[in-house]
Structure 1
């Protein structure tokens, strides 16, 4: 049987992925996280003090979270245990905790690394609390999601959150140079293709090594790929973007704020990012309609019309042709005069309405469809504005117990400049007629 394995080449170690072969063996070899593991990094200081405490590593994939946890355990002489929240339950946790207690009785501590810790539910997260508090384990949890939203307050109060940064181009280039050194061969890419490969990695060190392996496997002897050939060989990695998670909200926030900030170029960039990531086009269209009413309002009443028209155009044309309509409205909204006066007025009116309850409108402006209602004053002394000078009666329409309120304050931009003049004119007439006793 051994001869059979040997003849098949299976007596040798199984080939290991490049990312695994290149895993750092010392914290100083970790790239892109100098704020954590550099000479003055937070983790460097914690390790030096021999007092780690429990930690939450938050950052994108491929930034070194697992590697750093493993190296921390080695440098602090802790037993390293790794589990994934995707495949583990409470029963698995109990076994780990029991083993950690037994090991602790011999004087050896345990660093428990929990990958994707945000996948645990509240009950599972609560199971960590007693063993964190009594020192049975040093917990290091890793997550790509915002801990403030995904982990419960009790766990967060007992752990320090450390942020892992997406790798910049320099760090990715360093990884490629080290890969070439370890493999003993240069990447068969021209300068433009190499730069394109770095961008494709999207800040993920593991991803760029996987892509590099694909390039080496695809190249013939002495072949050098340009950027266009690289695109054909490697079907570009999907951007880091989960429509149910933080990346989704980050980009829609960026799109909204660049439109509010009147930067059409930045708005187009974030719109393109969302489209490229596969965001639901009608979700984008709905948000553009929202921006039209929230941030532009009556400074340009056409903004809402155009935003709705873009939504209808996309419905009619579909993708990709309809995406140009979304781009057009994004530019229109970004370049339109801005006003949140209606937005603020509506919030203020809603607050007053809730605070003061069901106040009766003045009887003057109530209809009187029955004889009884006429007898008790409904509609009494109502003045029909169209029959008044300037089509304006100046009557008081507010509940007596509330009195006249002011919510809408137009800005001095766009169409609202004209609305301000109208409101000022009506207020002047109102004061004049009030002074005459009209």
Structure 2
């Protein structure tokens, strides 16, 4: 035999064995991670060592099954592990508490993750191991969430699932009508996007809004509905003048979150527009934060914070209402822009922005994607819509709130408007667009 060939074979085998060791080390780490969490449970029959061995056993049976070119070794190993773990809980079958279903399931998952490592899915296996450990560790918190969910919350989640996974996939993704503005799939996708963002804020508001104070309440209120948040705190302040500064902070933060939300939506839908819109929204955000911080220092965080009563954002009627508004604004923007130029678009932006700034934002981005609008027109229309929306909410405060709240919110709102208008004017003067 050629000595050189023999040396090369030895090197190849050594490299291959190192690969095997790396795979078994990965499965060992996966087992130790999950087992570390299970070791904390006194009732668990499987702990640190058991999970580590099961994960490596999964890798071993996958290797043997692969080399023998039969799946039955891997399947037999899974059945064997399941039978052994279930048998270990037989002495608890007459006890009223959980007979170890979670641990049995975790062991089987651990075996499967070990097998995945052999089939070169180590990254996915590690990710799933981390997710599994998180689910096991946060048992109390997850149980608390499910116990606190109301029928209204579950309906919200189910309705959003209907909007996203039943209605959206069956809608045609084609352009119809004048200006090719009507695309059922795109319109419904915008409904899902806005409903999803609002639903996250709605659920978070239910669970952690009052617990973590005014800042988070303002942020979550802005995600769900800045108009509803403004109206609720204006009315509450009429009954309780002692929370005036708190109401100012929550209202201003809710309006500032609208700017952040619009920036994120733009980045997702139209990344081309994002770098042009960001400085304008950033100008309003900067001045608004300064005034919010001023009033933040004036109130005590120990005050009881009223929670805004918001509607279910994923309710079908709410979603349909937004969809119709979005489609109408989309058509009017395209039509008036075609017959009256920029002034027609800006008129629609101001009128529609009074009650809903999302519609003109999404419509402008859509028309830009169709080649109907220039970048400067899109940014200007969105800015005018935001300013109109701020003025509308300021009017609500003046008509439904007391004079002190109105004056303080006026200063903060005007600061945001000055920041928006100033940034837009500066960008136009410098020919940034």
TM-score (norm 1): 0.26
Structure with more relative contact order (C-alpha pairs < 8 Å, separation 6 or more): 2
* More strand per residue: 1
TM-score (norm 2): 0.26
The structure with more radius of gyration = 1
